[in-house]
Structure 1
């Protein structure tokens, strides 16, 4: 389980929601007044699931993402993560649901990537957990960070990999079939570290679902189910 009670994340998100009501309302996608997301920007959030593969210990895993992390979608995700505009999560939830649905794996356990202590202190809520809650997706907290990592922003791929290496552990995951969930996948190294931790704990990792992915290496038009993992 995570080291902080889930209720703290709920309270943090509620406070952020309340503060958002006191601030001037502008579209997070384009800056237009009087709407969190204007009618012109909403179509950019319609799920268009794409898939990429992320290399991980024991074999690559598929990552399905509901949106491309660019333009309006990227600005809205950043508004949630960097500006505390948590009401916007409701508009992102369909993208996460669509990404999870691609796997079509009954009985799979959804596991959010853990949030660093520094990020939790800064925001007061965990973005993956908030997204899952708004999407109506039950989760189990099977991953825990065991050491401090640096902010990944500004780091190259190799630096990111070294930064998160051996930073997670998993317990109570033996024999479970797992789908990881997160907000955005960029290089995929954090997801790969989570896969390593879960596999070492005996879980079978089916893949990962995210709200968005950077366009690089993302193929469009995923449909149906993704083949389950053969490595255990």
Structure 2
């Protein structure tokens, strides 16, 4: 998967020389990411508590960062992963002492994209990722669901394997209500892992930190 993702990125870079390209952050012509938008991706670390663990995010999911992440996720512009890597690296200070465990991508999303967003950015950071979580059932798209509905949607949907005695950080691309991260924490703890926290590329804006736990 790594080789195919890298090949896809190289092909996109080559096509950009032939076909017009727009800045992922502001739609400026003839540049994948303009200087001003690149500056807007400088890490701005935020923290919140989810399921009793600290979640550290490198960016706020708003404005330019949100547009760039959406362009990576939904338009397949994998070259943008390198621009997002410093933000994830800033959030993952504890990664050297723990394994990064990604929240699984749904099969439909993986078929559509061909890559795992957070894992791709983690690789651009040189961070080690190990898949210790798997889905036990399909879940609905979380978009448009309120906090309670999101919790119910993902409750019991993940299970951990080979996790006993492992020191781990949960990895995801964007934290919104924290419902998915909370389910990942629950599953890893049930599998015997020592969950020391979670890291994300970005977090949605919040007026205050909140404690969110699964039902």
TM-score in terms of structure 1 length: 0.84
1:100-131 per-residue CA deviation (whole Å, 9 max, x = no partner) reads 01x3x653111111111010011111111111
In structure 1, the residue matched to 2:64 is: 72
In structure 2, the residue matched to 1:14 is: 7
Q: 119, 122, 135: which one pairs with 1:132? A: 122
User: Are 1:159 and 2:154 an aligned pair?
Assistant: no
1:187-228 per-residue CA deviation (whole Å, 9 max, x = no partner) reads 110000000000000111111011100111566xxxxxxxxx
Rounded Cα–Cα distance in structure 1 between residues aligned with 2:106 and 2:10: 21
Cα distance 1:153–1:13, how it changes in 2: closer, same or farther (>3 A)?
farther
Q: 166, 184, 200: which one pairs with 1:176? A: 166
Please list every run of at least 4 consecutive aligned residues from structure 1 whose deviation after the TM superposition is greater than 3 angstroms.
none
Rounded Cα–Cα distance in structure 1 between residues aligned with 2:69 and 2:182: 22
What runs of 5+ residues in structure 1 fail to find an aligned partner? 1-6, 220-232
What runs of 5+ residues in structure 2 fail to find an aligned partner? 210-215
Rounded Cα–Cα distance in structure 2 between residues aligned with 1:17 and 1:70: 28
User: Are 1:97 and 2:89 an aligned pair?
Assistant: yes
- In the TM superposition, what is the alpha-carbon distance from 1:154 to its structure 2 partner? 1.0
Rounded Cα–Cα distance in structure 2 between residues aligned with 1:158 and 1:148: 18
Q: Contact (CA 8 Å) 1:17, 1:85: kept in 2 or not? A: no
- In the TM superposition, what is the alpha-carbon distance from 1:138 to its structure 2 partner? 0.8
Describe the SS at the equivalent of 2:100. Answer: strand
Matched residue count: 206
TM-score in terms of structure 2 length: 0.90
Q: Contact (CA 8 Å) 1:53, 1:61: kept in 2 or not? A: yes
Cα distance 1:176–1:217, how it changes in 2: closer, same or farther (>3 A)?
farther
In structure 2, the residue matched to 1:26 is: 22
Q: 70, 80, 91: which one pairs with 1:88? A: 80
Q: 105, 108, 112: which one pairs with 1:115? A: 105
Rounded Cα–Cα distance in structure 2 between residues aligned with 1:13 and 1:153: 29
In structure 1, the residue matched to 2:138 is: 148
- In the TM superposition, what is the alpha-carbon distance from 1:145 to its structure 2 partner? 0.7
Rounded Cα–Cα distance in structure 2 between residues aligned with 1:184 and 1:17: 25
Q: Contact (CA 8 Å) 1:161, 1:189: kept in 2 or not? A: yes
